[in-house]
Amino acid sequence: MFKRKLLLTSLLGSSIAMLSFADSALGVEEILTKANAANAESSYKAMISIGANQDDKTVFYQKVNQDGTVWTRSEKLKPSKVLVIFIKNDAGYFEIIGNTVIKRMDMDLPVKGTSIKVIKKGDNAFVVGGKEVTREMVGEENFARLELMSKGVKSPHCNAECTEIDYNGIPCYLIKVKSEVTAEMITQYKNEMPAEEKKLLKNVDYAQQVPALTEYVIGRKNFFIYSSRKFNNVGRLLLRISYSDVIFNPPLSDSLFVLPKSTGIKGL
């Protein structure tokens, strides 16, 4: 067992934080960097449980092709019936409800929520995760949110600690990232929230919605992220995502990532 506390800088809302350390002997920074790469570059099938009570379940497939492109498919279940399917292929990112196919912006996938860089490019475009996104493509509200995300608000006081644990029989690292929640971070969280959600949350205390502690469970051999949890500044669980029944490098047919026949594809 080992345990070390290190200074870091964490971007608000990132599942994998952008870190800076003085200690580099397979410290937290290297583990998180390897985890980010491992999850992006692995082909696998898994069951994802989302939410505080783990009652929101999704069957997830990821296929990394020989040319480096990544296709994904998510099937949201309740309890065993498929309600919604999300597919990412070479044509884009799509939500499928029944026979309706809706094209979505490929920047906030309902998968692992890994860190996404947003870089401003002129007055009418951003580069999101390496892809150019224009004002026309996403609409004014989403474009305004990208503007906020491109600025990035950082917590001035952060620390992380890492221990070795067994997670469901798998040797893992448990990494805890603690951040001081500032007024600026709370304001950004509120501003980034879509208008429709704000209407439903008129009396919400936004200070209680910003993560102050994030925990990651990462495989020591494969650096796969098996679990992540976010807590607010009074210890209330905000979000939990866990992966079970993980099968690496399974045979995945291309047909899993093909859109069904529909009456047409709707835009954002």
DSSP state of 182: P
Q: Which residues contact 95 (CB under 8 A, 6 or more apart)?
A: 84, 85, 86, 101, 102, 104
Question: Under DSSP, is residue 139 helix (H, G, I), strand (E, B) or coil?
Answer: helix
Into which CATH architecture does domain 4-266 fall?
Clam (2.50)
For residues 234 and 212, what is the distance between their CA atoms, to the nearest angstrom?
Answer: 9
- pTM, whole model, 2 decimals? 0.69
Locate 152 and state its tokens. 């990035």
CA dist 167 and 156 (Å) reads: 32
| Tens place of pLDDT per residue across the chain (268 aa) | 333 333 332 222 333 333 333 333 457 878 888 888 888 888 999 999 887 666 678 999 999 999 888 899 999 887 667 788 999 999 888 999 888 888 886 644 333 333 456 677 777 777 775 667 777 766 666 666 666 666 554 555 567 889 999 999 999 999 998 888 888 777 777 776 766 666 766 677 877 888 889 899 999 999 999 999 999 888 989 889 999 999 999 999 999 999 987 656 776 5
Kindly tell me the sign of the dihedral angle through the C-alpha atoms of 77, 81, 84, 87. positive
